[in-house]
């Protein structure tokens, strides 16, 4: 439908129409979501606004529209994109902020400059020309709107980064650490867990002792953090040094006179 710019003396007439919609349609209307507005407005137009007797034209808007419809120009083949474009940026927590609300983006775009495309019911997030996130738009305040896929990807990324950090610390223990790590991958189901535990043991017992335990465990084909812990604990145990024997009794009491042994007992033959 063609749109005409209202003149100064007609602005009040235009505002009256807006006021009619606010007071008659929107006043007291409970809208659970923006997507419910169009069906409700269609129902209100068909049952109230378009079938009433208009105060200015003295005819029903529905009848007047039937007269004007053949004179209207056709609508464009593609609907007009009424989105609002804004530049934004994601923070280090993979969030963008709009009207105090936070929306997640994939972790790859943390701290990146992004573009927002805002619609009344949703928002689209672009990195250059690539669409990276879509969210329903929230009109409450201080909400954290999350896409579960974004959160899961971030958790997996952080776990992988943490595993790489522990692996680098483990490989720094010595030349045999790389071979031991590869054997762990073959022998144990959760090799990153064992590597993390061995790195923690190195912080307790020291890198040199842990590296020696790794070499010994490799020699014995013992793969796992429990074997390394056992070797380290065994070596930490101090073997007590035997002290000199001190006799606490008097020397004269230790001088005993014993009769000579009688060996005749062994010469007697036992009866058959």
pLDDT score, position 179: 94
Q: How far apart are CA 105 and CA 133, in angstroms?
A: 6
The domain boundary, picked from 49, 73, 97, lies at 73
pLDDT at 272: 54
Statement to judge: residues 165 and 219 lie in one domain: yes
| Widest distance between CA atoms in the chain | 152
Q: Specify whether 42 is located in the same domain as 111.
A: no
Q: Are residues 227 and 158 in the same domain?
A: yes
Residue 110: closest CA among 120, 129, 95: 95
pLDDT reported for residue 1:
37
If pLDDT is split at 50, 70 and 90, which confidence band does 238 have?
low
Q: What is the pLDDT of residues 22-68, one digit of tens each?
A: 888 888 888 777 778 888 889 999 999 898 988 888 899 899 989 99
Phi, psi for 81 (deg, rounded to 5)? -85, 110
The full DSSP string for 147-175 is: -HHHHHHHHHHHHHHHHHHHHHHHHTT-T
Q: Where are the alpha helices (DSSP H) in the chain?
A: 11-21, 37-47, 61-68, 148-171, 177-187, 191-205, 207-219, 225-236, 251-254
Which of 119, 146, 173 terminates a domain? The answer is: 146
Q: Are residues 192 and 218 in the same domain?
A: yes
Predicted pLDDT of residue 165: 93
| Residue 92 maps to a domain | yes
Span 120-127, average pLDDT:
94
Residue 22 lies in a domain: no
Kindly list the strands in the beta sheet with 144-145, ordered across the sheet, starting from the edge strand earlier in the chain.
Answer: 95-98, 101-104, 144-145
**Distance from C-alpha of 54 to C-alpha of 107, rounded to nearest angstrom:** 56
Comparison of pLDDT for 245 and 121, the residue scoring more: 121
Q: Which of 146, 174, 193 is the last residue of a domain?
A: 146
Q: Tens of pLDDT along 61-100? A: 899 989 999 999 988 888 888 899 999 999 988 999 999 9
- Is 97 within the bounds of a domain? yes
Residue 117 belongs to what domain range?
Answer: 84-146
Q: Using the predicted structure, report yes or no on whether residue 6 has a pLDDT greater than 60.
A: no
Residue 247 has pLDDT above 80, yes or no: no
**253 domain-assigned:** no
Same-domain status, 45 and 62: yes
Q: Tally the domains of the chain.
A: 3
In the predicted model, what is the mean pLDDT of the chain?
86
Task: Name the pLDDT band for 254 (thresholds 50, 70, 90).
Answer: low
| Res 31: pLDDT | 76
Residues 120, 101, single domain; the answer is yes
In 10 A of CB 201, how many CB atoms? 20
CA gap 262, 82 in Å, rounded: 124
The DSSP annotation for 129-143 comes to TEEEEEEEPP-SSS-
**Residue 2 belongs to a domain:** no
- 184 with 228, same domain: the answer is yes
According to the model, what pLDDT value does residue 2 have? 40
Residue 112 CB neighbour total at 10 angstroms: 17
Closest CA to 119 of 15, 30, 38, 25: 38
Looking at residue 22, the DSSP 8-state letter turns out to be I
């Amino acid at each position: 439908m063609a749109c005409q710019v209202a003149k100064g003396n007609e602005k009040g007439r235009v505002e009256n129409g807006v006021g009619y919609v606010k007071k008659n349609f929107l006043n007291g209307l409970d809208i659970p979501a923006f997507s419910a507005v169009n069906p409700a407005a269609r129902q209100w137009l068909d049952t109230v606004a378009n079938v009433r007797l208009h105060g200015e034209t003295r005819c029903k808007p529905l009848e007047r529209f039937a007269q004007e419809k053949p004179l209207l120009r056709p609508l464009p083949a593609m609907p007009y994109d009424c989105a609002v474009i804004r530049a934004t940026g994601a923070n280090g927590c993979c969030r963008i902020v709009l009207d105090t609300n936070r929306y997640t983006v994939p972790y790859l775009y943390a701290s990146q400059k992004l573009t927002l495309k805002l619609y009344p019911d949703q928002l689209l997030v672009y990195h250059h020309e690539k669409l990276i996130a879509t969210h329903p738009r929230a009109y409450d305040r201080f909400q954290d709107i999350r896409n579960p896929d974004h959160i899961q990807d971030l958790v997996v990324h952080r776990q992988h980064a943490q595993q790489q950090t522990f692996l680098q610390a483990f490989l720094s223990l010595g030349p045999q650490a790389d071979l031991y790590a590869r054997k762990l991958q073959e022998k144990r189901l959760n090799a990153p867990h064992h590597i993390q535990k061995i790195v923690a043991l190195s912080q307790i017992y020291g890198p040199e002792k842990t590296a020696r335990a790794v070499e010994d465990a490799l020699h014995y084909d013992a793969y796992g953090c429990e074997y390394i812990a056992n070797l380290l604990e065994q070596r930490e145990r101090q073997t007590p040094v035997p002290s000199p024997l001190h006799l606490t009794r008097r020397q004269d009491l230790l001088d005993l006179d014993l009769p000579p042994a009688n060996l005749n007992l062994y010469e007697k033959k036992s009866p058959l």
